[in-house]
Amino acid sequence: MSQHDRYRPQVHFTPPANWMNDPNGCLVHNGVYHLFYQYHPGSLQWGPMHWGHATSTDLLHWTHQPVALYPDPQLGMAFSGSAINDRENVSGLFDDEHGLLAFYTAHRDSPDGQDALQQQCLAVSYDQGQTWIPYEGNPVVPNPGVKDFRDPKVFFHTPSQHWVMVVVAGQQVHFYRSGNLRDWQFSGTFGKYQGHDSVVWECPDLLELSDEQGNRHWVLFVSGVTPADEPFPPMQYFVGHFDGHTFTETQPHSDVNRVDAGADFYAAQSFHGTVDHDGRSIWIAWANHWTYANDTPADSWRGLMSLPRELSLVTRHGQLCLRQQVVREFTARLTEAVRHVGSGRWMLPVPNNAQWFQLSIPATTRNTIQFVLNNIDGDRLCLQWQPELKTLTLDRTGIASSAFHERFNQPCQVDLSTAMTDEIGLEVCLIVDRCSAEVFALNGQVAMTCQLFPEQPFDRAELIADDNVFVDQAHLKD
């Protein structure tokens, strides 16, 4: 591994070089997954936004493609958005029967840098997503007089037989409808006084997800630009009803519904077409936090995505809650697991590969459990379970490079006291892939994502636990 790739993970997507943030335009088309993303090809810092592009057939191994969208001299940068397959050519933009369309925000700064104009635009691909041409009628949704008006998510609403666009507008979400994907009519709003609405919302997504009985429910997701001293989680969600015009929350809650308990999970976007493709709802997120995103340790590239996750709902204490599980393509490529029981230390056989660990903790356990990964430099990552407090902690402060930023140099912790009972043990999955750690607990009801920057791969593990606790270990095949 070269010095320029010392942090590059095995299967978490990273840009070929320079800056990357939000996933954009995620879709599956003809068996190929397309991932577009916010990209600055000329710098390790955020700057003039393009759409980068990569493709995959297994959601793990990605092939870089040419840049898809560039800043427009008149309309501005290409901010976040989504993409769809216009299968029936309702747009009338294709000579044959179908093609791909991308919807994105054009962002143009004012000359004095004090204000900006954000409008929703359309781009067309006639060659299966390889090249994109901005629509000559842009913008398709002009700015209605809102400062922060961006990140269109477009999908087809079958009951009303209309296309829907979901756009954030300050601390709210606006909805638009269209019959031809070119002309859009405003239809409703959601968000005022809902959830955490004191920060600017970004990157909405609206999905219909299945619960354990197969019933479908609408779930609205938003991210939030969080001040450095604000504890607000980067993403939240609402469960409710969508009638094709607007969203209504149907499940009251006393606290914010948090998508991920870690620090680094933002702007998640679902892949258009996966439900029709194989019945799954899948999304991917930018694994970073705006507080320190421009300052993370980097050589030739900066920014990574989470592993893609399968989404569903589960009932907990009478409330529908989000469940996230790493895509089955990942677990299918793991080696046969090796079990370690009780306290002990061991070496990891292939430290450069993504590592998978499953901790099984009986309900009778009363002592604190620690599972530690470290390397030759003394860097230390600790996953800790405190049964009396029912807190699960992922602590990256033992890694020397974590000190680059005060907000980064903090442990991530989640309270599971309301999510589990004393009669049920705990299983925790930890996936470490060089500069990424993702934790899944309670069968995916809890997720925790954090970046890591150890100078060397973790090559040894230690379990500090009672004799009835064990950990299964495997790694991803080459």
Indicate the fold that domain 335-475 takes in CATH. Answer: Jelly Rolls (2.60.120)
Q: How far apart are CA 415 and CA 392, in angstroms?
A: 7
pLDDT of residue 57: 98
The mean per-residue pLDDT over the stretch 346-356 comes to 95
Examine the pLDDT at 359 and tell me if it is beyond 80: yes
pLDDT of residue 253: 74
Q: Residue 199 — very low, low, confident or very high, per pLDDT cuts 50/70/90?
A: confident
Q: How far apart are CA 45 and CA 50, in angstroms?
A: 13
The mean per-residue pLDDT over the stretch 48-61 comes to 99
The mean per-residue pLDDT over the stretch 186-196 comes to 81
- The SS3 call for residue 7 is coil
- For residue 167, give every residue at least 6 positions away whose Cβ sits within 8 Å of its Cβ, in sequence order, or none: 120, 141, 149, 150, 151, 152, 153, 173, 174, 175, 176, 204
CATH number of the 3-328 domain: 2.115.10.20
The mean per-residue pLDDT over the stretch 187-216 comes to 88
- Based on the residue annotation, tell me whether 379 is a catalytic residue of this protein: no
pLDDT of residue 413: 96
- For residue 305, give every residue at least 6 positions away whose Cβ sits within 8 Å of its Cβ, in sequence order, or none: 12, 13, 14, 23, 35, 37, 284, 285, 286, 287
The mean per-residue pLDDT over the stretch 245-261 comes to 90
Q: Residue 97 — very low, low, confident or very high, per pLDDT cuts 50/70/90?
A: confident
Examine the pLDDT at 448 and tell me if it is beyond 90: yes
Convert 23-62 to b/e letters by CB count within 10 Å (16 or more is b): bbbbbbbeeebbbbbbbbbeebebeebbbbbbbbeebbeb
Examine the pLDDT at 418 and tell me if it is beyond 90: no
Q: Residue 96 — very low, low, confident or very high, per pLDDT cuts 50/70/90?
A: confident
Domain 3-328 shares a fold with domain 335-475: no
Q: Residue 233 — very low, low, confident or very high, per pLDDT cuts 50/70/90?
A: low
Q: Residue 229 — very low, low, confident or very high, per pLDDT cuts 50/70/90?
A: low
Amino acid at 324: Q
Q: How far apart are CA 146 and CA 129, in angstroms?
A: 31
pLDDT in tens, 75-87: 999 999 999 999 9
Per the CB < 8 A criterion, the answer to whether 221 and 268 are in contact is yes
pLDDT of residue 115: 78
Residue of 5, 22, 96, 299 marked catalytic: 22
Lowest mean pLDDT among 247-256, 281-290, 346-355: 247-256
pLDDT of residue 317: 87
Examine the pLDDT at 195 and tell me if it is beyond 80: no
**Backbone φ, ψ for residue 212 (5° rounding):** -65, -30
Average pLDDT, the chain: 94
pLDDT of residue 336: 97
321's tokens: 């809650």
Which residue would you say has higher pLDDT here, 199 or 428? 428
Q: Residue 46 — very low, low, confident or very high, per pLDDT cuts 50/70/90?
A: very high
Examine the pLDDT at 196 and tell me if it is beyond 70: no
For the chain, the domains span 3-328, 335-475
Examine the pLDDT at 1 and tell me if it is beyond 60: no
pLDDT of residue 203: 98
Which residue would you say has higher pLDDT here, 167 or 198? 167
pLDDT of residue 424: 82
pLDDT in tens, 297-336: 999 999 999 999 999 999 988 899 999 999 999 999 999 9
Examine the pLDDT at 352 and tell me if it is beyond 90: yes
pLDDT of residue 4: 61
